[in-house]
Amino acid sequence: MIARTAHPAAPAHAAALWRLLQATAGVVQGVTEGRSATPLLERVAHAERAGTQALAFDVLRHLGTASALASRLARRAPTPAVAALLKTALALAARSGTPPYTEFTLVDQTVEAAKRAPALRRQAGFVNACLRRFLRERTALLQAVQNEPVARWNHPAWWVAELQRAYPDRWKAILNADQTPAPMDVRVNARRLSAPTYCERLARQGVRAWALGASAVRLAQSLPVQALPGHAEGDVSVQSATAQRAAPLLLDGLDVAAPRVLDACAAPGGKTAHLLEFCPAARVTALDVSTERSCRIRQNLDRLGLAADIRVADAGRPADWWDRTPYDAILLDAPCSASGIVRRHPDVRWLRRASDLADLAAQQDRLLHALWPLLSPGGRLLFCTCSVFPQEGDERIAAFGSRQADAVRLPAPGHVLPLAPDAAPAVGDNAPRDGDGFFFALLRKELR
């Protein structure tokens, strides 16, 4: 499993920096061509993967600035491979705060990376000249690009405009939060231990952590998943504290001893597992359209010693899989832009297009209307997305409610925004400000 919370500082590794820069440039080129960073990183040699991920995430968080700088430094557009290497170095050299490498080391190793790649060798001098010019003219160049929204905020212009429209008083705070690595949160298996108990277990190993409610724990620093005590035994799972709000929202106070629950769009199974841990008597159907991703659900449940009825099908076509028995509760974690989790997935901002929001909203509407008839009278449906855009949250629920007379909206957080990090969350704080961006709407079907 690739951890998605790597720190941008230079990682401890044995691989030469020029190798990491080559691999990072390959990831950056793939993302600019429309490919997800996750499979690109999975193809990097294991010995270089952690270092490459740390650098790639840092570069992707500063890709807007780097692209604007590259366009000023190069009179002619270089080949995609050369452009990716140049932007990689510029992003690392121009980032605020303490750079991960000295200027001399970064330039030297970037040129070395070009010299050692057959497709880039002839452009090593060009790369060297661009980087040395940047170092000479750093202040003027950085001031010049700050007038460009993409360079200033390191998000696409349409993304910035959407946030300005939706959150006129908080859009800057959201964009600034997106530039910080996400904290590492875990969910303890409440059937086995409590969050405070797990914090004590971590403390004995020299790891600082805080309990965020009954099952959520936040680590002061990220660890490899394999290093989490009790992970292999099923005592704990990696899941953001914000995402952990779904299961209690849906099931807490549901007056059914052994509820029949549907987790639609369930892969990779984190929320499915939490539903079962929160309510051991629940009879859960976990549904996903992808066979490969459904295998991840089973793997995660097996590790935790849990069981669900796992099915591969389109949640929007119940006739293909539903047995006509109503559900007491439905969790619809709908496909969305993932705009609320760009701290964990910094490539998302560069992969999405403005037109995606309308397409995703239509898909969310389709799923809501397809699943509502499957809910028993008095039952609940929790609609959630890991998005900060109102088109994938409040606007969807308002549109659904205007057409569905028997849907009653119950108290729920609505849009949860990723804002400035807290130095240390208070013990028992259920909603730390520096979590992921999410939307939660809880609906009850009226009795008739």
Cα gap 51→59, rounded to integer Å:
12
The residue to which tokens 């090593």 are assigned? 124
Cα gap 161→115, rounded to integer Å:
41
> In whole angstroms, how large is the CA radius of gyration of the chain?
23
Element (H, E) at 204: helix 195-204
Query: What's the DSSP call for residue 221?
Result: S
Cα gap 242→415, rounded to integer Å:
11
Say whether 295 is catalytic: no
Question: Quick one: the chain helix, strand, coil %, rounded to 5?
Answer: 50, 15, 40
Given 279, 336, 384, 386, the catalytic residue: 386
Spatial contact of 441 and 393, defined as CB atoms under 8 Å apart: yes
- Our CA dihedral for 158, 159, 165, 170, rounded to 10 degrees, sits at -150
Cα gap 286→271, rounded to integer Å:
10
Residues 6+ apart with CB under 8 A from 353: 158
C-alpha distances out from residue 44 to 8, 273, 276, 280, 292, Å? 18, 30, 35, 40, 21
Mind telling me the catalytic residues? 386
